[in-house]
Every structure is written in structure tokens, then in C-alpha cells.
Amino acid sequence: MSNTLNANLNKVNSILERKLRSFLSGPKKGETFELRNGLVSQYKHERKDSIQRVIQAMTLGKDVSSLFPDVLKNIATYDLQQKKLVYLYLMNYAKTHPELCILAVNTFVQDTEDPNPLIRALAIRTMGCIRVDKMVDYMEIPLQRTLKDENPYVRKTAAVCVAKLFDLNPQICIEFGFLEQLQELIKDSNPMVVVNALNALYEIKDMNTDENLVVFEINHEIIQNLVLCLNECTEWGRITILTTLNDYTTSDVEQVNHIIERVIPQLQHVNPSVVLSSIKVILHHLEIIPSQQQRDGILKKLSAPLVSLVNSSSIPEAQYVGLKNIRIILEKYPQILSKELRIFFLKYSDPLYLKLEKLEIMIRLANESNSTILLSELKEYAMEFEPSLVSKAIKSIGSVAIQLSNCVVKSVTLLNEIIEQRGGDLIINESIIVLTNILRRYPRKNDFITLIIPIISNHIEELDRNDSLSSYIYLLGEYPKYFSNLHDKLTKLVEQFLSFDPILQLNTLTTIVKINLQSTGTQFSSLLQQVLEMSTKECENADVRDKAYIYWRLLSSSSSVEVQKRIVLSKIPAIKTTISSFNPIILETLMSELSTLSSVYHKPAKTFIDASAYSRTPKTNEKLEDLKTKAKKEIINNVKNENLLDFDDDGNENGVGSEEGVNSLLDELNDLFMAQPPPTQSEAPQQGQSQTNDILSLFNTIPTTTPGKPSFTGSSTTTNTGSTVNNDLLDLF
């Protein structure tokens, strides 16, 4: 049987080779020519050397696909190194020469029977990577054989190959019963094989588009088996098993106890991803445990491992992922790290993004007992160099004051110190916003007002940002009695009115109306008149005009002053916090997606992952993309060739050929670009848009969770919550 197959193949080989040889013979000079000579050299080392150079050219991005037949000749060798290189070349260029790949099949099949397990595994691994449809037909026998190989190294490689086959052709993969065999391998005696079988099944599950196909079901028995394997696996194997344990849900308390018991030792693993995956499994099963006491006991055990995620021995990128996950877990279980503030202190050598994220955690850990040390740390950070760190440190001081009422005086004094000692636009602007927010948290408290307003009054001249000016103008309207020289200050605002941005105009308008209603005399009425006139006559912004008309009509209506006051001077509810939090539904989703990409973007997977990416890729898409690049490359190559050919004797023939090639390729290219909706191009933006819509819709729900958000517009107060939402939105992108 195999003899006839071989004979047939050989025949096909020789015919194909002759045909392709004439087709592919390009210019006879230059690097390619030299390489080709080397590849067919009679000396072993020359051939090997040439193969290496071919691979090197490939690495550099040169197209060496024209050497395909010559490289292929070197496939039958005892030299493992050389074999690997040829296989590597095959994997890379199989797509460009699908017909020629058949020539290699023979060697592949032979190699899967080699006495050396390393070669058997190499062959089956490479076969699966040659993504050519025709390959599928030849894969059945070798794959069957290697899946039952006596050597676990070969079996574990073959297990992955099943997933590769499924990717190429799901029907055949199922027909030949590979799926069942894979399910059997989960019970293999070797942990590495078990894990790879599991991984392959996961891949297949993701690729599968057939709803009726059950790829695999996690049941009690499998879990039992996996739990036993856990300690014998490599770190990556452990992660796979932990993922499976996380996907398994049971209400059986005894089982849950057993799983948690087995997973807890993994918290001591040196690899942070094993630690994080273990934490995830434990948190997933935690709720099933009925006893509150036991649950708390388990949670307590998680605090040291969580801290270890920000251990300075791991790379900053890993620490960052750790911090992002900690932030999610902290929101669900606020007490879990209550004693660990110091761990999150910034290190001078931390990259900026890490420092900023650490600050996020620090403000969430603030409590009565650690506030003193936290505030003095924050002050240090406010003296640092990076502007974003400085502004975040100042915001954090504000958050602490807003969180803990007995820290207000301390925080405000601290801010004043920072302004006095360092000063500068950035610090003053940020501090004014923060101070305003503190007043919005504790409105109408005389001692706080008398503490804060003088600080602000001293630095009015230095405010140059819309948000900080808005804060100041808002305070003017809210607490006019506390400002000295109120009339001068207002006059100045009115003078600048027309040069303001609409947001400031709206604020100024509101403030002046408010002051007018509060004051008994008529000293401000001329200012009011001016502002109303400017807003209605000279302003281009419709919002400002509308608002001015509303005020004007209200004030000139027959309603009593009392009613007017009730409308204009109504008190806004106090804000509760400036620390952003997740919507409860999103929090639940994020908890279930810990350690994944969504945990660092802080948004559920469905908002940024294309669901179809899980199934097999739409081939047409890919082909088009490939074809485009291929076409571009061809044109470039041909242009180069033409230059070379000018000096060549037999250039004419080839030249014409290549010119034709160029033309037809150009046509093809034109087609590609002209065709009305080229799928790759049109789909992407659409996706992008639907994603943003999704995201926006998510955030529409957010304000409900921050009850402090004021309900009227035109006041400075919108800036604060607005900016946290903005920040979140920015995070998303």
C-alpha cells in the first residue's frame, strides 16, 4: 500500500518538478542564483550553509519562495538541524506553493515512523503547520499512529496536531474520530499529554462553528483526574488545568472544598500567572461555601499572594497586570488588602504607568489608621517631576479627603504646603479643582469653607485652565460671602466674558444670576444686565444664548423672588466620591474574566473582542489580505528584476513575461481596490464603530453608580465626574 503510494508520489514529483522548474527559473545572477547553486551542491556542508542563508533571507523579510523546489530536495537528511530548517522553510512558504508541498509528504510520513521520537514529533508537528488543504488527506495515518505512540513526547505533540487539523478541515477531523481520541487522552498517564489534549480541545471549542458538536464536557470525573495532575505539571500545564477548574461550576460543597484545598498550594508557585489563575479559581468557587467564617479564612489566605503579584522581582509589565487585577478584586472584596498599603508605595525606578496604577490602588486602601502615612507619601509624589504623576498625586490627596472626613483639614493644609513650596501652573490648577471637590463633598461647612476659600483667592490670577476656572467661578456663586472684593472679581469675569469658552460663559452666567438673587442690594444688577445682553446678542453658542434667555425670562416674569430663588439657588446633592468604580454588572463580568486581556482594559471581552475571531477565520478575508501583499511584493520584485534584466542576454523573454505579470497583477490590484466593498477594509471600521457604540452604551449606565453627579448643566461641577468618566473612556481606548 505505502509502496504504491510512494511510487505514485514519485511520479507526480517528477512531473511537477519539471513543470515548475521552467516556470520558476528566474534571473540567473545575484543572491538567489548563488543560493540555488549552493542548495544543489554535491557537498553536504555547502548545502546546509545555503539553507541557513535562505532562512536568514526569509527572516529579513526577503521573498525566497522561488527556491522552494531546491530547498525541498534537502528534506531527506539525517541531520536533525538541517531537517528542522527545511521544515521551517516549508511552513513559511507552503501557502505560496501548495502543489509542491505534496512532494514533501513522503518524507513527512516516513519521518513519523522514525526510531527517534524527536523526529517523529517534529514531523507531525510540522505537518500540522503546513496550512494547505491538500495536506489534510495525508495526515490521517501518521496522526493516528502518533496519537498512540509509546513516547509521551510524541503523543503530546500529536494531541496539538489534532487542533491544527480541525483548523484546516473540521469535517475530516471529526470523521476520522480524532476528537474522541483527544477526549481519551485526557485520561493519559502522562500529565504533559493530558494538558496538551486539554489545550487542543479548548482550541477546537473556540474554532468550532457547529452548534450541534459537543467538543468536550467537563464533568466530575475529569476534574478529579485533573486535580491529581496539578502538582506534576509544568507551570503552563498548571495554568491550563486551573483554567479548566475555573470553567467548572458545581454546587456540591464537598467538591468545591476539595478543589480549593488542592489549588491553595499553587498560590506559592513562583510564576505569577499560576498564582493569579489560582486566585481566580478560588474566587470562582468561593461563593458555594456556606460558612462565612470559612470564606473569610480563605480570603485571608489570598492577601499575601495578591501582594506577591507586585513583587519587584517580576518585570514591570507583569506587575502592571497584577495591579489591574487587584483593582478589580479590591472592588469586590474591599477588605482583602486592608493592611498592605506600604507594598504599593512607589519605587523611584518604577515606570510611569506602574506608578500611576499603584496610586489607584493606594487611594482605594485609604482608611483612618493609615491616612497619615499615605498623605505624607502623596506629598512626596506631588514633588516629583512627571506632570501626570504630580497631577494624579494631587487628585489622590483630594480623594483621601473626600473618602475620610477627618483627613480634610490635613489634606487641605498639605495642598496649601505643596502650592507654597513648589507652585507652578500645573499644581495650582489641579489643587483648585481638588479643593472645590472637597467642598462639594462637605458643602456648607463653615470651617472648611474658611480654610479653603482663602487658598483659592490667593491664586486666582494663576488659573489658566477651563476646569480650574470653572471650579473657581462655581465657588464664587456658591459662597459669595467668603470672597473679598467680590464686585471686582465679577467685573473682571464680565470683562473677559466674550473671550471665554462656552463652558466658562455658562458658569459665569449662572454665578452672576445666583449672586444677584442672593444679594439684597442692587450693586450687581448692572453686571447681570451686561452678561445677559452679551450672552443673548453677541454669543454664538446656542447653549449660552438659551440659558441666558431662560434666566432672563424667569427673572422678568411675574413669579415671586422666593420662587426664583428656589429654582436658581437649589442645592446640589453632595458628591460621595471621586474614585471611579465599576457598574455592578461589569464588575461581575470582570471578576469572571480575571487575568485575561479584559482585566487590563477593564472592560468585558465582548466589547473589544470580535466574537467571530473565535471561530475559524474567514478564509476569503485572509486570502485577500495575503493576495494584496503578495501582489505588492511581486510588483516590487519585478521592478527590481527588470533592472537586472537589462543587462541580461536572455532578458527579453523573461522581460516580456514579467511585464505581463506586472500588468495583470496591476489589474488584479485595481480590482482589489476598486471593488466596491473590499471586505477587509470595510469591515474593520464598522466593527470599530459598533465597538464604540457598545462602549458608549456601557458608560451610559455608569452615572447611576456615581450618585454625586449633579443634574444641571452649566455649572462647574460637571467637570469632575465628567472627567472620571472621560478617563474611563480613555482607558477603554
695 within 8 A of 583, measured Cβ to Cβ: no
Looking at the Cβ atoms of 265 and 657, the one nearer to other proteins is: 265
Looking at the Cβ atoms of 112 and 535, the one nearer to other proteins is: 112
Q: Does 86 bind other proteins (CB under 8 A)?
A: no
435 within 8 A of 412, measured Cβ to Cβ: yes
Size of the site for other proteins (CB under 8 A): 120
456 within 8 A of 429, measured Cβ to Cβ: no
Distance CA 319, CA 355 (A): 11
DSSP character at residue 264: G
Binding segment for other proteins (CB under 8 A), chosen from 501-509, 556-564, 604-612, 646-654, is 604-612
Looking at the Cβ atoms of 70 and 357, the one nearer to other proteins is: 357
Q: Does 679 bind other proteins (CB under 8 A)?
A: no
Burial class (CB within 10 angstroms; exposed 0-12, middle 13-18, buried 19+) of 566: exposed
Looking at the Cβ atoms of 507 and 724, the one nearer to other proteins is: 724
Looking at the Cβ atoms of 253 and 318, the one nearer to other proteins is: 318
Of the candidate residues 141, 153, 518, 574, the single one contacting other proteins (CB under 8 A): 153
Of the candidate residues 208, 470, 599, 720, the single one contacting other proteins (CB under 8 A): 599
Distance CA 123, CA 414 (A): 68
Give the nearest distance from C-beta 600 to other proteins in angstroms.
6
Binding segment for other proteins (CB under 8 A), chosen from 126-134, 409-417, 509-517, 554-562, is 126-134
**Taking Cα atoms as reference points, which of 354, 363, 439, 350 lies closest to residue 395?**
363
Q: Which residues contact residue 126 at a Cβ distance below 8 angstroms, ignoring those fewer than 6 apart?
A: 87, 90, 91, 108
Looking at the Cβ atoms of 160 and 173, the one nearer to other proteins is: 160
103 within 8 A of 72, measured Cβ to Cβ: yes
Q: Which residues contact residue 298 at a Cβ distance below 8 angstroms, ignoring those fewer than 6 apart?
A: 260, 264, 282, 286, 289
Burial class (CB within 10 angstroms; exposed 0-12, middle 13-18, buried 19+) of 521: exposed
The helix or strand, by DSSP H or E, that contains position 270, with its residue range, turns out to be none
| Residues in 308-367 that interact with other proteins by CB under 8 A | 308, 311-315, 317-318, 320-322, 325, 342-343, 345, 347-349, 351-353, 356
Binding segment for other proteins (CB under 8 A), chosen from 98-106, 149-157, 287-295, 522-530, is 149-157
Give the nearest distance from C-beta 242 to other proteins in angstroms.
9
Q: Does 214 bind other proteins (CB under 8 A)?
A: no
| Side chain identity at residue 683, one-letter code | E
Phi, psi of 718 (to 5 degrees): -65, -25
Q: Does 667 bind other proteins (CB under 8 A)?
A: no
Distance CA 359, CA 435 (A): 19
Of the candidate residues 307, 494, 574, 672, the single one contacting other proteins (CB under 8 A): 307
Give the nearest distance from C-beta 319 to other proteins in angstroms.
10
Give the nearest distance from C-beta 728 to other proteins in angstroms.
12
485: left (phi over 0), alpha (psi -120 to 50) or beta: left
Q: Does 190 bind other proteins (CB under 8 A)?
A: yes
Give the nearest distance from C-beta 505 to other proteins in angstroms.
27
Per-residue 3-state assignment (H helix, E strand, C coil) for 16-33:
HHHHHHHHHCCCCCHHHH
Looking at the Cβ atoms of 658 and 691, the one nearer to other proteins is: 691
Q: Does 244 bind other proteins (CB under 8 A)?
A: no
The helix or strand, by DSSP H or E, that contains position 3, with its residue range, turns out to be helix 2-24
714: left (phi over 0), alpha (psi -120 to 50) or beta: left
Give the nearest distance from C-beta 317 to other proteins in angstroms.
4
Give the nearest distance from C-beta 164 to other proteins in angstroms.
6
Give the nearest distance from C-beta 515 to other proteins in angstroms.
36
Other CB atoms within 10 A of residue 463 CB? 20
Distance CA 361, CA 356 (A): 9
Of the candidate residues 76, 213, 214, 373, the single one contacting other proteins (CB under 8 A): 373
Q: Does 52 bind other proteins (CB under 8 A)?
A: yes
Looking at the Cβ atoms of 305 and 708, the one nearer to other proteins is: 305
| Residues in 404-463 that interact with other proteins by CB under 8 A | 422
Q: Does 142 bind other proteins (CB under 8 A)?
A: no
| Residues in 521-580 that interact with other proteins by CB under 8 A | none
696-729 burial code (b ≥16 CB/10 A, e <16):
eebbeebeeebebbbeeebbbbbbbbebbbeebe
Give the nearest distance from C-beta 260 to other proteins in angstroms.
12
For cell 493576495, name the residue: 627
Other CB atoms within 10 A of residue 258 CB? 15
Binding segment for other proteins (CB under 8 A), chosen from 29-37, 460-468, 486-494, 591-599, is 591-599
Q: Does 500 bind other proteins (CB under 8 A)?
A: no
Give the nearest distance from C-beta 49 to other proteins in angstroms.
11
Of the candidate residues 35, 85, 201, 645, the single one contacting other proteins (CB under 8 A): 85
Pattern of binders to other proteins over 618-647, x per CB under 8 A? Answer: ----x--xx--x------------------
Distance CA 419, CA 425 (A): 10
Give the nearest distance from C-beta 360 to other proteins in angstroms.
11
Give the nearest distance from C-beta 265 to other proteins in angstroms.
4
Rg (CA), the chain: 35
